[in-house]
A and B are shown apart, each in its own frame.
Chain A
Amino acid sequence: MSYTLTRHLRLGLNFVDKTGIRHRWIKRGKDPEIASSLAQKMAEWNKKDPEIDFRVDIGYRYTRPSRKIVLSERLKFRKELKSNIQLEKAAKNRTLTAPMDGVYQEWCATSAPFHIQETAEYFNVFDDLFGSAYFTPINMLDIRYDQGDLDALVHQGNLLQPSETSRKPTVTYNGLNDALYTLVLTTPDCHLTEEKAEYLHWMIGNIPGNDVSKGAEICDYLQPFPPRGIGFCRYVFVLYRQEKVIDFSKYKRPENCKNLAARTFSTYEFYRDLQDLMTPCGLAFFQAKWDSTLTDFFHNVLEMKEPWFEYDFPVHTLPPQKWIPFRKPFNLYLDKYKHPKELGEELLLEKLKEVHPFEKPPPPLKYPQSIPLPRGNPSWLNDDIKRRRARTGKWKYM
């Protein structure tokens, strides 16, 4: 007599007689014609209500020169290019090269603000700094960290080392002479205590025109310090334009402030208070990861113990542990439910039994399984010994 698998599942029988069972497809959920695909389900989950989840443009509108004039100039230029025989030859011979600096300069003057905005969306900069607002950075920020012969530039998310960014950068931008600007450097990522707060690394307010040195330093420059193990943190420069002088005394930090709690900042709160007086017009950001110079920085400058993190992997989902697991190897079953560190400790203790404190370890055996197993051992123990010799299973990490 053969029982179906469904009957066994329904009656909750643990002794499954698999002889004579014909495995077949059991329908779960909706019919395939009706059920929604993963893409459809994700669209449903990520659906946004336009009345609640809309975003506001808080920046300036990018003013283009007249398209008619620009187009006529460009067409003229292209016509001249097309008549250039040398260029044609170079193109045919595949020797045509373009100066990357020239391309970059022209890009800064034309499509850079929109590209930077796209990259900022990719990195979620607007969401994490301003919440439900965004802006088009019409002013290009040229930020350089002096490294002697070379300069480390800040673009839109490029990777820099904290050792490179230990000193103040030189900031230049093409601003209006009669307007005032404010520059703020914050990081939304490695705040130690609060979930949605930032650290203020640098703030210069009421900069007249393009001269950053004449601005009032509201918060001294503190170098980026992404803690060890946290990965890459974003460091965002935002440039605001204002008409009048603003009183930043509320945001003033003491000179050479090294207290991290004091440097806690929220761009959202800051901008909400001053939104009528200033508008964001420039954006640049970089990513930085821990490097060895930060150990001294944490100890000597910030005067704290250096934090060291590791990624908290989601726990492997196991079914609830049973008191009596039928038809399962009890030792492997129990090992699955132990905390990895607990198991690691057991493995360490086993390893220490093998290791001699003063002598070198013996060379590994060529045929470890050839040693006869002791008689009278239960089968599970022999299997465990074989695994230990072969260094499989948990013994792989002993």
Chain B
Amino acid sequence: MSLTKFRSYFSICSHFPKVRNSSIAGLDSSIAASPFAQCRFFSSKNEFPSNDSIIPKFINNRNPKNLEKLRIGEKPKGWCFEKEDKKFWNRVTLDISSRHISASIIHYLGQSPVMASSKEWCIKKYLYSTNDACAAKLVGQVLAQRCLQAGITEVACFFTPDERKKEKVSLFIKAIEDFGVGLMEPPQILPDWNVNHWEIPETPWDIHEDVDDIYSSASKYRGYKIRKHAHPSPKEMNEYNK
């Protein structure tokens, strides 16, 4: 319940003024025609509005992969009865030919951000054979490294159990996993429309690695018992307010 959360934050954290604004727009909104000239170049007049006065109600994040990282982004759903399921954001493809081993990450829109192949000199240089098991392993390692360089931490993997039994495929998969790239994409977070009060069970923008968020809304949905302890003790409150 966003309304209660807003109120509780406001009363408890009074000297951490947090202005909770409505939203970020995920959809394209109309282009705001604004006079650009006054803000663009610094003029000697020093007429710039203070930082406090420019906090907006709505803000647009143009990063096209932001929603996917927050798990809110759309996955192409409905193709589960097809041979190739399209329900993914990023997918690993492996192509083992008679001469080379190539792998790439493909996005559902067709873009290919990361690729690694034994055709590349940087990989070929260190291989005895360009299409054996060691090549598959090295291609997997290099692909995983480049994935992390591109900020891709989880990819969907659609190998059948028969394919996974093959040595090259299994070494390739293992190499990716060992390097730190997850081979199962998290499910898309969908608002629950069946209920006559929609609410998002986990708010991905509230989950942070470093903050132990005792106000996390995720704790509310775990059950009655845990909810009892979700409210902090006065001692914890004092420490938080410091």
Tell me if A229 is interfacial: C-beta within 8 Å of chain B: yes
What is the chain B residue whose CB lies nearest that of A112? Answer: B122
What is the chain B residue whose CB lies nearest that of A228? Answer: B205
Cα–Cα, bound, A102→B151 (Å): 21
What is the chain B residue whose CB lies nearest that of A154? Answer: B149
Interface pick from A53-61, A133-141, A304-312, A371-379: A304-312
Which residues of chain A are within 8 angstroms of B114 by Cβ–Cβ distance?
A: 115, 119
A194:B210 contact, CB within 8 angstroms: no
B150:A119 contact, CB within 8 angstroms: yes
B208:A290 contact, CB within 8 angstroms: yes
Cα–Cα, bound, A122→B114 (Å): 9
Which residues of chain B are within 8 angstroms of A195 by Cβ–Cβ distance?
A: 29, 31-32, 34, 60
Interface pick from A6-14, A16-24, A86-94, A170-178: A86-94
- Contact mask A173-213 → B, CB, 8 Å, 1/0? 00000000000000011111111110000000000000000
Tell me if B14 is interfacial: C-beta within 8 Å of chain A: no
Which residues of chain B are within 8 angstroms of A192 by Cβ–Cβ distance?
A: 54-56, 59
Cα–Cα, bound, A311→B22 (Å): 8
B48:A84 contact, CB within 8 angstroms: no
Tell me if B80 is interfacial: C-beta within 8 Å of chain A: no
Q: How many residues on B have C-beta within 8 angstroms of the other chain's C-beta atoms? A: 97
- Contact mask B3-27 → A, CB, 8 Å, 1/0? 1100000000000111111111111
B197:A343 contact, CB within 8 angstroms: yes
What is the chain A residue whose CB lies nearest that of B72? Answer: A311
Q: How far is the CB of A160 from chain B (nearest CB, A)?
A: 9
Tell me if A397 is interfacial: C-beta within 8 Å of chain B: yes
Contact of B150 among A81, A84, A122 (CB under 8 A): A122
Q: How far is the CB of B27 from chain A (nearest CB, A)?
A: 7
B17:A305 contact, CB within 8 angstroms: yes
Q: A91-B132, A347-B1 are in contact. Are A314 and B124 (CB under 8 A)?
A: no
Q: A228-B205, A312-B26 are in contact. Are A118 and B113 (CB under 8 A)?
A: yes
Contact of A291 among B42, B125, B208 (CB under 8 A): B208
Contact of A231 among B70, B133, B152, B199 (CB under 8 A): B70
A313-360 interface (Cβ within 8 A of B) = 313-314, 316, 332, 335-336, 340-341, 343-345, 347-348, 360
B4:A344 contact, CB within 8 angstroms: yes
Contact of A305 among B29, B55, B151, B200 (CB under 8 A): B55
A94:B60 contact, CB within 8 angstroms: no
Main SS of chain B's interface residues?
loop
Contact of B3 among A87, A289, A290, A348 (CB under 8 A): A348
- Contact mask B129-155 → A, CB, 8 Å, 1/0? 100111001100110011011111100
What is the chain A residue whose CB lies nearest that of B128? Answer: A91
A156:B3 contact, CB within 8 angstroms: no
A230:B205 contact, CB within 8 angstroms: yes
B3:A312 contact, CB within 8 angstroms: no
A259:B48 contact, CB within 8 angstroms: yes
Which residues of chain A are within 8 angstroms of B75 by Cβ–Cβ distance?
A: none
Tell me if B51 is interfacial: C-beta within 8 Å of chain A: yes
A interface list, Cβ under 8 A from B = 74, 77-78, 81-82, 84, 87-88, 90-91, 94, 96, 98-100, 102-104, 106-107, 110-111, 115, 118-119, 121-124, 128, 155-159, 161, 163, 188-197, 227-234, 250-254, 257-262, 264-266, 269, 286-287, 289-292, 295, 299, 302-314, 316, 332, 335-336, 340-341, 343-345, 347-348, 360-361, 364, 393-394, 396-397
Task: Give 22 pairs: A residue, B residue, CB < 8 Å, sorted on A.
Answer: A94-B137, A104-B122, A106-B122, A122-B113, A157-B113, A158-B149, A193-B54, A231-B204, A232-B63, A259-B48, A260-B54, A287-B151, A291-B211, A302-B51, A305-B52, A310-B20, A310-B22, A310-B203, A314-B27, A316-B193, A344-B2, A396-B197
**Which 4 pairs, one residue from A and one from B, show the smallest C-beta to C-beta distance?**
A312-B23, A98-B126, A106-B122, A155-B149
